[in-house]
Amino acid sequence: MKGFSRANLLYMRAFAEAWPQEEVIVQQAVGQLPWGHNLLLLAKLKDPVMRMNYAQRAIEHGWSRNVLGMHIETRRLEREGQAVTNFAERLPAAGSDLAQQSLKDPYVFDFLSIGKDADEREIETALVQHISSFLLELGAGFAYVGRQVHVEVGGDDFYIDLLFYHLKLRCYIVIELKAGAFKPEHTGQLGFYMTAVDRQLKSEHDAPTIGLLLCKSKNKVVAEYALHDSNKAMGVAEYQLIESLPAEMQTSLPSIEQIERELADWL
């Protein structure tokens, strides 16, 4: 055979070394993906198990090469199922695993282009303005219902930050945003909204509502204690507005003081 460049030959050898079993290439996800997808998996992922997981997910959801690359860069699969929840105790066994895997920790909202000190309303507004990116970060199955969804309880007005419906879990998901650290009292507010959704919006065919608190930071032990006594299925996860730089890049960047000195010398 002729016409192969040196780079192509190296890529093919790397592919053969990564997947030495013939049945993997023929039957598994890597054999169903375009060559460009496989090159991306080889270049970005060294762990064979994680490489196969991303390949299977790309087949399942029809990810393009660019979307696959974005999910690898943001460590999507590594973050799945990491939220602190009480699903194992509050949901039927058949649905608790799926619900757990539907939540991440942390959520990365670096597409919002807002400052790290933004308050809840600013974050909420930006998420709705970038709803496509937000849904992509939430994951498969989430359908957007509304923002500041009004519910009336006992003649008083209340507004839910963000309301979604999960097509696989067949239930509403209430998301509350907190610009600060997680506090145990946040679960009471979230539980109140979940009860309102169950009584006013949920149909007889829907499963009980699930709640998610997205906080700037959390103490994992405090979150576990707070969720233990709640009789409703809810989870707590952090969000990042700006993804942290790798350590090697942080050490190579100048400090604020260095920049100021350079500017002063130049002036």
What are the tens digits of pLDDT across the range 44-64? Answer: 888 888 988 999 999 988 888
Cβ–Cβ < 8 Å for 236, 82: no
pLDDT at 215 over 50: yes
Measure CA 155 to chain center: 36
What are the tens digits of pLDDT across the range 116-146? Answer: 777 888 888 888 888 888 888 898 899 999 9
pLDDT at 248 over 50: no
Instruction: Label the pairing between strands 207-217 and 171-181.
Output: parallel
Cis ω before 34 (30° cut-off from 0):
no
pLDDT at 256 over 60: no
DSSP string, the chain: -----HHHHHHHHHHHHH---HHHHHHSGGGTS-HHHHHHHHHH---HHHHHHHHHHHHHHT--HHHHHHHHHTTHHHHBT-SEE-HHHHS-HHHHHHHHHH-BSSEE-GGG---TT--HHHHHHHHHHTHHHHHHHH-TTEEEEEEEEEEEETTEEEEEEEEEEETTTTEEEEEEEEEEE--TTHHHHHHHHHHHHHHHT--TTSEEEEEEEEEEE--HHHHHHHHHT-SS-EEEEEEESSPPPPHHHHHHSPPHHHHHHHHHHH-
**pTM (two decimals):** 0.73
What are the tens digits of pLDDT across the range 68-83? Answer: 998 998 899 999 999 9
CATH number of 79-240: 3.40.1350.10
Domain range summary for the chain, segments of one domain joined by +: 6-73, 79-240
